[in-house]
Structure 1
Amino acid sequence: MRLGLVGYGFGGRTFHAPFVAALGEGVLAGVVTRSAARRAELAADHPGVPVYDTVDDLLAAGVDIVTISTPPSGRLDIAKRVIDAGVPVIVDKPMASSLAEARELVAYAADRGVLLSVFQNRRWDSEARTLQAIVRSGAVGDIRLVENVLDRWEPRATGDGSGGGQLLDLGSHTVDQVRDALGPVQRVFATIDRRPGDEYEYAFDLLLEHQDGIRSIVASDVLQPDGRPRLRVTGSTGTVTVRGLDIQTDQMLAGLRPAGHGWGVEPHERWGTLTTTAGEQRPYPRADGRWQDFYAGVREAIDTGSGVLPVAVEGSLATFAILEAARRSAELGTWVHVSSV
C-alpha cells in the first residue's frame, strides 16, 4: 500500500504519519504541505518521504489511498478531488462541517464507486475497547447506564475559536464510542457551555437514549482541573469504573512510536475497579489501546482488495446526526429525536 497524506499539522504529524510509517518503509508515499516549517518537520520525522505542493501533484505521483488531515471547512472539496481520480480516501473526523456536507460526500463517493472511510481512531482507545469488552462479557449484568467522560484542564485548547468547538471536535470521538458499543441512538438531551465573546463550545453534557433502552452520558470540559471518571458502566450486578485517559496520547507526545515496545499497554495500576451490588470490589482488566489497528486494517483492505475499510461511513454519519441533534437540543432545552441517515 502507498498512502498519501494531505496536511502535516498536529493531526497529520501526530496521529497519521507515525502509524502509516510504522507499517513499513515506503507505505507513507508522500505528504502535501506548502508550509516551510511543516516541510522541515517532515524531513526530520520521516527522511526521504516526498513532499508535494498540491493534491493533484500527489495523485499524479501515484498512490493507492489518501488520508485528508486538514481543517474541516476544506475537507469536502479535497475529498471530492481525490474521489474524482478514483482513489480511495480517508477523511479525518469530523468528516465535514455539517451533516448535510457529510451526506453529500458519502453520496459522491458511492455514486463513483470509490471507497470512503473516516478516521475514528478512538474506537481503539483503551476505554472504548474496555467498554466493548464489558458489553460482550456481561461483567455488570444488564447494562442500564454508561458514562463516557473526557475532562481536562487545557485552556489553550479553546484557541481563537476558529476550529469550531468541543462538541464537533471531541464529540465526534466520544459519541462514536458509545454508539459503536451500545447501538443506535433514538434521542438526545444536551447542554453546551460556550465561552463568552466568541461562542467557543468548551464543554458539553449529552444524555443519549439508545434503541434498546440503555442510556449513556457523554461529556467533556476542557476547563476542568479535576476531571470525572473517564468511564463508568453500571448494570444490574455492579459497576466498572475506569479513571485516567488512554495512555497512547502521552506515549506519542513523549516520542514513543506505535512499533515500540509497550505501546498502548495499560499497567495494572491503571486498571478499572469492579464494584458489585453485594459490596465487593476487585480490579477489572483495562484493555490496551491499539490505534495502530486502524491503519493495519486499511492496508489489509487495500492489499487484499476486500473493499472493507476499518470504519464504515454509515457509523460516522449516525454519529454526526447525534451531534446535530445535540446542538438543537441545547438550543431548545428539550429532548430531540435523532434523524435517520
Structure 2
Amino acid sequence: MRPFNVAVIGYGFAGRCFHSYLVGLAPGLKLHGIASRDPQTRERIVRDRHCIAYEGLDDVLKDDAVDLVVLASPSAVHCEQAVAALDAGKHVVTDKIMCLNLEECDQMLAAAERNKKLLAVFQNRRWDGDYLTVKHLMQSGELGTVRWMELAWQGFGAWGGWRGAAEMGGGRFFDLGAHLVDQLLTLQNSPAETVYCRLRRDYDASDIDSEALIVVTFANGATGIADLSGMSAISKPRFRVHGSRATFVKYGLDPQEKAMIAGDIDSAVETPESYGTLHDGKSERQITTLPGRWRSFYENVTEHLAGNAPIAVTLESSRAGMQVIDAALKSAATGEVVRL
C-alpha cells in the first residue's frame, strides 16, 4: 500500500516546525508538497524539504496525487479552505483553532459529511506529558473525585505576524484557549453547561487580547478554568487540579516543542525539577511526568485513513470545544453567563 500524500498549506512557524516535521515522521504518510505565496519561501521548501512547492491552495486541490491537506494557515481562513479542500475530495487536518465560531465549525462538519472525508483538528496537546499525567491521576483514583481544575498558559508581550491581528484569529484566546478548552473538556468527559468569559485588550499597538479568563461548568458539577495571559511575567501553575483525595500542581510546559524546533522531538525529556507534586493535606510527593508523544496524532491519522483505527480527535469533541469558545466570545461581549 502506497503512503498517503500530504500537502501542507503555509510554511510559517506551524507549517515548518510542527506539521511538515511531524508528517515526515509518520509511517504511512509522505510529505508531497507545501504551499506558500512567497517565491523565496518556495525555493527554501524545495531545498530543505525536497518536495513540491505550490503557489497556493488552488494548485494543491488540482493535484490528484494529494490525499490529505493540512491547514497551517491563519485561523480566519480555516473554514473557507477546509470546505474547499473537502469539496475537492481531499481529507483535511486543520491546525487549531479549528475556526473562529460555531457557524464556521458546522459548515466544515457539513462539508466533511457530504464528501465522506476525514476532518480532524490538530490537538497535539492531548499528548502532552503533563496532560497525560493528570489524566492518569484522575483515572487511577489518586485524586479522588475532581470537581475543580485550573489550567493556565501565560507569557509577557503581544505576538507579531498574523497571530498579532485579531481579524486573522490572532491572540491567546483563540490560539492557546483552543488547547486549554479541549483539555478541560476531555479531562472532565462531561457536557459543558455554562460558560463565562472576561477578555482584556490592553496592548498599545495591537488589538489582540492581552488577558482571557474562561470559566466552564459541567453537568457533573465540576468547574474548569482556562487562564490565558500575555501580560504575566510570572506564570501560574500550568495545571492545578483539586480532588476529594488530593491536589495536583504542575508548573512549566511540555518539552516536546523545544526539542522539535531543535530538530529532534524524541530528545524531549522533562527533568525532575519540573515534575508536579501531589498533596493530600498531610504530605506531598513528587509525581514523575509521563512521557508525551506528539507523533501519535499523525500516526493515528494514518491508521484511520488505512481503516485500522477510529480517529482520536473526533468531530464531536472538536464541535464541543468550538461551542465553548463561541459561548465565551458571547459572554465576553455581554458580560453575562451563557448557558449551552
TM-score (norm 2): 0.91
Map of 1:305 onto structure 2: 307
Map of 2:318 onto structure 1: 316
Map of 1:189 onto structure 2: 196
Equivalent pairs counted in the alignment come to 331
Map of 1:267 onto structure 2: 271
Amino acid at match of 1:172: A
**Please, which runs of 5 or more residues in structure 1 have no aligned partner?**
none
Amino acid at match of 1:266: E
Structure 1 stretches of 4+ moved >4 Å: none
Map of 1:58 onto structure 2: 60
The offset of 1:307, in angstroms, is: 7.1
* Identical-pair percentage: 31
Q: What secondary structure sits across from 1:74 in the alignment?
A: helix
Map of 1:176 onto structure 2: 182
With over 3 angstroms needed to count, the CA separation of the structure-2 counterparts of 1:45 and 1:181, relative to structure 1, is farther
Map of 2:164 onto structure 1: 159
- Two-structure CA RMSD over aligned residues (Å): 2.0
With over 3 angstroms needed to count, the CA separation of the structure-2 counterparts of 1:74 and 1:228, relative to structure 1, is same
Q: What secondary structure sits across from 1:173 in the alignment?
A: helix
Amino acid at match of 2:24: A
Q: What secondary structure sits across from 1:147 in the alignment?
A: strand
* Counterparts of 2:52 and 2:182, CA distance in 1: 34
Q: Does 1:93 align with 2:99?
A: no
Contact kept, 8 Å, 1:274 with 1:284, in 2: the verdict is yes
Aligned counterpart in structure 2 of residue 5 of structure 1, from 8, 19, 29: 8
Contact kept, 8 Å, 1:9 with 1:38, in 2: the verdict is no
The offset of 1:247, in angstroms, is: 0.9
Amino acid at match of 2:133: T
* Counterparts of 1:25 and 1:110, CA distance in 2: 24
1:132-168 Cα shifts (integer Å, max 9, x gaps) = 1122111111112111111112433573444333212
- Structure 1 stretch 20-29 or stretch 227-236: which is displaced more? 20-29
Matches within 5 A, 1:1-80: 1-23=4-26, 27-46=30-49, 48-59=50-61, 60-80=63-83
* Counterparts of 1:154 and 1:224, CA distance in 2: 8
Map of 1:240 onto structure 2: 248
The offset of 1:187, in angstroms, is: 0.5
1:62-101 Cα shifts (integer Å, max 9, x gaps) = 0221111111222222222221222211111122222101
1:10-43 Cα shifts (integer Å, max 9, x gaps) = 1111110110111259711111112123224423
Map of 1:149 onto structure 2: 152
Contact kept, 8 Å, 2:83 with 2:107, in 1: the verdict is no
Map of 2:264 onto structure 1: 257
TM-score (norm 1): 0.90
Contact kept, 8 Å, 2:300 with 2:309, in 1: the verdict is no
- Structure 1 stretch 162-171 or stretch 60-69: which is displaced more? 162-171
* Counterparts of 1:25 and 1:298, CA distance in 2: 10
Amino acid at match of 1:185: A
Map of 1:209 onto structure 2: 217
**Please, which runs of 5 or more residues in structure 2 have no aligned partner?**
none
With over 3 angstroms needed to count, the CA separation of the structure-2 counterparts of 1:151 and 1:196, relative to structure 1, is closer
Amino acid at match of 1:168: F
The offset of 1:226, in angstroms, is: 0.3
* Counterparts of 1:61 and 1:49, CA distance in 2: 16
The offset of 1:130, in angstroms, is: 1.9
Q: What secondary structure sits across from 1:63 in the alignment?
A: coil
